[in-house]
Amino acid sequence: MKHWKETAEILGRVGRLAEAGRQAALATVVHIEGSAYRRAGAKFLVEEDGRTSGGVSGGCLEADVRETALEVLREGIPRLLHYDTGDDDTKVWGLGLGCNGSVDIFVQPATLPAAMEVTARVADLLAGELPFAVSTVVGGESHVGSAMVLGAEGIVSGSTGDGGLDREVARRAAGLLARGESSLDEIRSLEVFTEVQTPPPHLVVFGAGDDAIPICAYAADAGFRVSVVDHRQAYLSSERFPGATRLYLRRAEEGTDALPLGPRTYAVVKTHSLAQDREWVRRLLATEIPYIGLLGPRARKAEIVSEVGGTVGERVYGPVGLDVGAEGPEQIAVSIVAELLAVQSSRDPWHLREKEGAIHAT
């Protein structure tokens, strides 16, 4: 979910650098084993002057990847790096980090004309609502760095330069796209990384009061596409909600037309008006959205659900948020976004110290 937003931001930066005639290299996580802070598809941009954005680890690998990326810019030759993050300093690429995992990272020039053609198409797709895949040759004797963009109907842009290889990569990518999985695979003795990008879910916040500001900010940073709905024009501004993609001026009685309400949408209702909350809940219960977070005590939720003629079903989360001892708008926002992430990933929240196996393993 995070990768969609991160990729859009980084590729936007790549486009601006290319237009200014400046160079940059892009590092992408293509494979992990064991415990790893970031997952396949995480990106790290290194500009010619050394400035960086994004990340491929929790800060452990970035300094080394940055130096490699600057070498890639000077030489113009992509590289596939392997890092073993265990505690054995004698291993090849061993950093003695004690993280008990390994990470493969592909570093390539990002502002060359061939790369920019793919980048422009990916940027267009990131502005839409459909999943897609990008397959890149990251290792082997030939075609390294060549990439293809693929949608549900096949190849959208790019090529490896080999028609037969293109068709084989496209077939493999189609299966991964259908499953929503990214993967590093061997195809014709070449290592091909297929990154599947799935549009992140929407979060619609009903109520643009001051306490909605941290909710929207944290949710947008986490990767949700955030919309805010309120009937007060003065409250709806990009200055108050810089991370929101849409601001809607309306009351509940005006309906839900044009709002992104579907099976991949989450809603938080917090207008601080019992009447407005009740009407929004009434309309939201008639949609397919799986999560309706309702601010306020349990008795208030029961009253609202009873008045709209429904039942206290699993879709209504009220009081909204996880029990983390939150106090004040910012802490409550953390508890709400944490609950959203848990519901979105179908996880029961608990302490990581109680989890067996790799912390970040799926």
- Can you give 38-97 as a three-state secondary structure string? CCCCCEEEEECCCCEEECCCCCCCHHHHHHHHHHHHHHCCCEEEEEECCCCCCCCCCCCC
Tokens of 287: 């949609």
> Can you name the residues that pair with 103 across neighbouring β-strands?
32, 83
Q: Quick check: 330 and 355 in contact, CB under 8 A?
A: no
**Confidence (pLDDT) at 284:** 94
140 sits in the region (left: phi over 0; alpha: psi -120 to 50; else beta) called: left
Predicted TM-score (pTM) of the model is: 0.84
**Confidence (pLDDT) at 94:** 46
**CATH homologous superfamily for the domain 202-344:** NAD(P)-binding Rossmann-like Domain (3.40.50.720)
**Confidence (pLDDT) at 263:** 93
Residue 263 is classified by DSSP as T
Q: Quick check: 105 and 64 in contact, CB under 8 A?
A: no
Between CA 31 and CA 320 the distance in angstroms is 36
Between CA 227 and CA 259 the distance in angstroms is 8
Residue 262 is classified by DSSP as S
**Confidence (pLDDT) at 352:** 81
Q: Quick check: 316 and 292 in contact, CB under 8 A?
A: yes
Q: Smallest Cα–Cα separation from 30: which of 114, 124, 135?
A: 135
**Confidence (pLDDT) at 357:** 67
Distances (CA, A) of 322 to 330, 334, 347: 13, 9, 13
Report domain extents, the chain: 1-111, 113-199, 202-344
**pLDDT tens per residue across all 362 residues of the chain:** 788 999 999 999 999 999 999 999 999 999 998 766 788 999 999 999 999 999 998 888 999 999 999 999 999 999 999 998 765 554 444 444 445 678 999 999 999 998 999 999 999 999 899 999 999 999 999 999 999 999 988 999 999 999 999 999 999 999 999 999 999 999 999 999 999 999 999 999 999 999 999 999 999 999 999 999 999 999 999 999 998 989 999 999 998 988 999 999 999 999 999 999 999 999 999 999 999 999 999 999 989 988 987 665 689 999 999 999 999 999 999 999 999 999 999 988 888 888 776 655 55
Label the pairing between strands 52-54 and 43-47: antiparallel
**Confidence (pLDDT) at 211:** 96
Q: Smallest Cα–Cα separation from 192: which of 153, 152, 134?
A: 134
Between CA 88 and CA 162 the distance in angstroms is 41
**Confidence (pLDDT) at 356:** 75
